[in-house]
Structure formats: C-alpha cells, structure tokens
Chains A and B, each alone.
Chain A
C-alpha cells in the first residue's frame, strides 16, 4: 500500500505552498550548493514570482496527493510521482540554467513514465511516444536558446542574464527569444504545439492529469514570463503581439475541440489549452503595454494573467479529480456512457459543478474575477494610441468573449451529460461515490475556488507586488477600498463579495415572496413528458454528440466533420434497418495540415541520411575525424 507515502507528500505539498506564499509576500532567499550539479552547482532563489508558482505547485500537489491516498491502489508509479512533484517545485526556484534544465527534464521524464503507467496498449504507447517527442523537441529549443544566451553573456546565472539583457544585440535577442518561446510554449500546450497535450493528459491517471494540467503547463507560462520580462527584456513589440495572437488562437481552438469531444478527460485537456490561451492573452498584453511604456496597464495585464494562472490551477485540478472519480466509478472515459451520476455520486457532482461554474467564469467565483480583469486590461488598449496595436487588442477581446461563451456551453455539456438525466449504461447505473480522501481533496479545491473569487480584494494587491517585482517598476494598477477594487484610473471596479451577497439575497427573496403570496409550493412527482410514449429510457436523452451538433454545424469550416454511416438492412427491404452505426468525428486539422507534412519531410530527410549509415566502423571513425577537422578549421 502506498497510502502513507501519498499522505506524506500531501504534507510536504502544504509546507511548500506555505513557503511559496512567504515568497509572494516578499521573503526572498537564495541557496547554493556547489558540488551536486556540474556547471554552476545547484542554485535556488526565491523571489515573489517564484514564490507564486511554488505556492501553486505546493497546494496542487497537496490536493492531488490527498486524492491519491484513496484513489491509487497499485504500488507502481509512486516513485515517479514523488520525482515529478519534487521537480515541479524546483523549476520555479531554479536560479541558473543547469538547475533549471535538470529539474525541467526530470519533470518531463517522470510525467512521461506516469503517462505510460505501465500499460502496453496502443493508445497509451502512442500518447507517451508523442509526449516524449514533443517535450524533447521543446527541451532542445530551450537548451539551444539558453546556451546561446550563456555563450554571449558568459554566465549561466539568471540574475546575470537579467543584468546583461539591455546590452544584447537585437538579432541575438530575437533568436534566443524565438528558441525559448518555442520551448516554453510547447510545454504550455500553445496551438500549434499542443498535439501531445490532449493525448498525454487523458492517458495519465487522474491525479497526475490534474497536476499536468493544473501546474506543469503553467511552468511553460512561467518560463515565458521570465524570458520575456526578465532575461531578454526589453523586447520588441512583436513578441507581445505574437503571444497575444497565439493566445487568442489557442483559446478559441482549444475550446472548439473541447466542445465536440465526448471523452471527459480529453475535453478537460483541450480546455486547458483554452485557458493557457487566456493566460497568454494577458501575458502578451503585458509585453505590449511594457513596449508602449504604459507601466500600470502592463501590471494590470500581468495581474490578470497571474490570477487566471492560479484560478485555472484550482478549478482544473478540481475538474480532473472529479473526472477521475467518475472514470473510476464507471470504468470508461466516454461521456456517452454516463448520465444520472448526480444521484449516485452527490459529492463528486457538487464539487464538479463548483469547478464547472468557476471555469465558465460565472460570478462570483474565481474564474469570473480573473476573466473580468483580463477584459479590463484589453478594453483599456485605447490608452495606447497605435491603430495596429488597438486592432490586435480588439481581436483579442472578441476571441476572449467567444471563448467565454463557448466555455460555458462546453461545461453545460460536461456537467449536464455526465451527471444529469438517466444513466446511459449499466456501469453508470451502479456507480458509487468517491472515497473519503478523494472527497476531501475535491471539497478543499471547491472551497478554494470560492475563496479565490471572494478574496479578490486581498489577492489582487498581493499579485500587484509580484507584477511590480517582475516588471521592475512600482506602479499602482489597482486600488482597493473596503470590499471593492478598481483598476487603473477608475476605468472599472468590482466587488465579488457584494455580488455574492446580492446573489444570496436574491435566492432568499423569491422564497420569501412565495410564502407571502400564499403559494402552496407543493410538488407532485411525475414522469418526464414524452409525447405519450409509455416509459422513459436513456435512449431518448440528448447525448454529448447531439449537444455539440449546433456548434459542429456553425463551425463546419473548422471541424470539417466526416460523416460515417454503417447500415445493415434486412435482405427483403432496405427500409428495415437491423443495425445502424453513425459516427461524425471532427478532423484534427493541425495533425493533418501541419504535422503530417513535416513528419513526411523528416522521414524523407532521414532516408537521405541513411546513405551515410553504412554500418562500417571505419567509415564512422572517418566521420568523426572529418567533424574534428572541420571544427578546428572553423575555429
């Protein structure tokens, strides 16, 4: 049994989270141990941004591990899990390139092992393989970028990079940014580097999926923040513009794919791509505002991005844990086999609903506050008097709004099809609720979603400190008075607590009214009305596929659905159908139009390279000699 181990990791997670919070509040420290790691030694440094991400890692690990106590029964994977959790915590603290890359690689390898999870079926192997290839392509970009920067600045320490960055030549700055951005963006799952994410996140066990979606991809965002705002600052405007456009694209494309997916965990994984997009809209906006010398707006956009990072960690971890409980109870990931689980798994349903309401940005929970902040940052683009920049911001606003609407639709589907109506399979009919430790983890996260929403007046100023430390310029992007906070220049203000109080009063008001009006408020139990048919069966319910159909039609140009009908008719007459199968899958455009041509090209190149591969040891020694000579000549 591994339960004690996971309980210990829960404790360590809570401690790490608390240490992270002290970092956010301004307690900084450094730790250097020379001998352990070559090239600069192990170096850790705590600053507010590192503290924020450490807190994120700590609390998410605590929730996932607490869940794992009652969820994981096999011994396998425990070591990889501990390594994964540890590496997640080291990455934000790393103060030099060597420490960072080592922790990064341990994080990738451990999560790869967890994705594979000892299984040998084709989909799992494919998921793990695609993940391994993409993550190492990303690592190669990071290595190249960091070595390029190190060779120019002559140091591997991040603090020195920050000091040296104003002297970088423009060409090198752009080249390093491109390499680092590609590396970090592939970890963050930005379109079009996202292909590994839906495969890996849905294949991994749910407490690991929760960490991968909730925290690991955020470390890609962390890297982008460090690279764009510290190591290579100040960058040209196109960095911010590109991030904003890619963010908007990821948000819309991610949620469009989530909307039509009937695999609950893959739906959540696609929705993570969407949320990373929302975060990057804020990050890109911050870079653009920095360039336009609008410090307080840059700080506002950064606060919005960081707030959404925290919120997404809370609700996506919650949703993945909830999905894990559902998959555990029904033994399938297909939503078409779910239904009616709210009566069989009331705890899981209530927690999942809290997550769904948060991610749909409904007031007064946390998702609403961060999305509201992002909107306010985008809407203020008018203060940057450049038409081109304004156009990018207007498109970002429209994309974010479309994303918000589609997200609400997607999570109506995710919750409604999974938990409501009648069960569509025997497994769903006989499902059982989650164990106590799983419930505890989910309930804690649901409470966190509420607290992160209502506590906005405390959290926003704390994030303003983090933003000030990253941007290196103190500014006052927000103003807090009593329960209301307002953004720069009195542009807009919000009070989640008063909205919540109003909603509670609004829930009570109709009850009081009904009593006062003398309404009997009686309800008889009846059957669902069904046009006179005798008995209601699950076959009459709307399915996940049917629910998404209007979207599939509206966005046909994007989904390019293929319709497959397989009919078996009676030999006497084709009007008597014996068996019918219907499938209407959406096509993965990025696989077909981007990755397949690239892979085909690479295979062709590999074919040419095969000519060199004679199998003759003398020839190989000749190659090495030639390479050495070439290096000496070039030197």
Chain B
C-alpha cells in the first residue's frame, strides 16, 4: 500500500473512532482514549529506536516530560496554540535525544541504555530545581472550558493526540519500508557486519534516536493541558518508561503493527484496571506481562500469530482426521 493511501486509511479510522466517541456522548471516553492514544505515540516512538535498531531506551519518561515541561515554559512566556507547542516539544526532545546519542551511541548498546536510565533522574533533578516551571511544587495550567468548533476542550486534545498517533504510525511505516529502515535492520541484526559493509551506523542510530525522542516530546507537549496540574513526579512517572517498553515488546517489535496492538491492548487494560482495581496493581500487571512475554514469547503477539499461521495443521484431502483415542483399524 502506498504511504499516501495508508495515511488516508489511518485518518479515516481515526476519524471514525472520534465520531464513535462523539456519538457515545460521554467525555470520559475522551479522557480515557487520550491516554491510550498517547501510549500509541510513545510505543511507536520507542519502537523506532528499540525495535528497528535494537537499542533500548529506558528514558521515555524523560523525553515525554521534556515535551510537557517545554509546554509549561512556553506557556508562561506567551499563549501559543497547542500544535505549535507540540512542534516545540518535539524539537526540544529531539535535540536532547541527539545529544545523548552522540555521547553514548558510539559504545556498546548497554551504555546507551544505562545513560537513558540516568538521564531521567538527572532531568528530574533539573526540573525540581528550576522554579520557573514550578520546581517541586508543580505548575498549574488552566485548561479553557471549551474551544470553538469542538465543544469541550478534551475533545480538541483527543483530536490532536489522534493526529499525532496517525502521524507517528505513518512515519514508522515509512521508515520501515525505506532505505533508512533497512539500514536500521542491519544494525539490529549485526552491527559489526553492517559497519564493515559500509552502512553509516552511527549516523543512522543518531537519526533513529532523534526521531524517536522528538515523537516522545510531541506526545508530552499537550499533557499539561490534559492533566491541568503538572508536577515532576507525574511527568517523570515510571509508568511511561515501563509502558513504552512493554507495549512494543508485548505487541511485537519488528513492524509498526506491534506497538499499535500492544498500546491498544495494554492501554485499554490499564484504563479498565485503574477504574476497577487500583493503579498500583495495574502497573504490577504490566511488569509481570513484560517479563512473561520477553521470556515466553520473544516476538510478542505478532510472533505468536505468525507462528500459529505457519504451523496450522493442514487437513489432508479425502481423509478424516484421526483422533488419538480412535481404535486402530487393521489393514
């Protein structure tokens, strides 16, 4: 399918989801749906670096929070429409991703992973100490009650996040089928061989880190408007880090479908579990699912489905399948 057509299909699907949510007439669906869409963006973004290149980023929360806090900072300077804020958040996170990658990606993959883990802690320290964006007290962003053509403001936010989700999936699919994507795959499979064959591995890794970081920043930018009151511990929440890793790994990392499936499944599961059980228990469920899937089903749900299709027993023509306990028939 051509990318233009794919984008059109995505937009139609997104539009119909929006229409259905409107039809249901309850703003709760927008609040819940927003979170799921946000996870689709985060999981897809993580997968561009983690799934395609094989480099694990534990700092999704840091990139997400960077986007959210650049919104807070800009908001304090001048009132700017949200799409502009999304762009700013993306640029800030992309630049930080590039810098981090430049310092650590020349070494073994583990060092990059460790550096991203530490990045989250350090950025949180910076934010806590930075009074301009509220410091440890947090910052209030007053969400307008309504906005012109959409009615309540959450519908507008939902629509923006929907467009971001469609955009990131399209970008991921585009990368997958381009020269860039094949380059990423060579890094994932055997970096030394790729390097020896003339693949500019460092440059490709930097491109992946920048795109991935920028998308996470975009996902974080509207967050202050959604939550209304942003504090460092909620923006840097460990649940963003764990979910953006768990969703692609549970869905399947090799194509754009995996993070999408993982995010929809886990995201909705958590929305239900948060309401019915408790938010701490549902994080525990995510943790166990992550560990369980990486041990038992390394290729995620997609891998399981592919295995099932490949191994489906083909019934021989003209013969009844013999069940195990059927009596032996003498010739």
Q: Do A and B come from one complex?
A: no
Contact residues of B with A, CB < 8 Å?
Answer: none
Residues of A within 8 A of B (CB): none
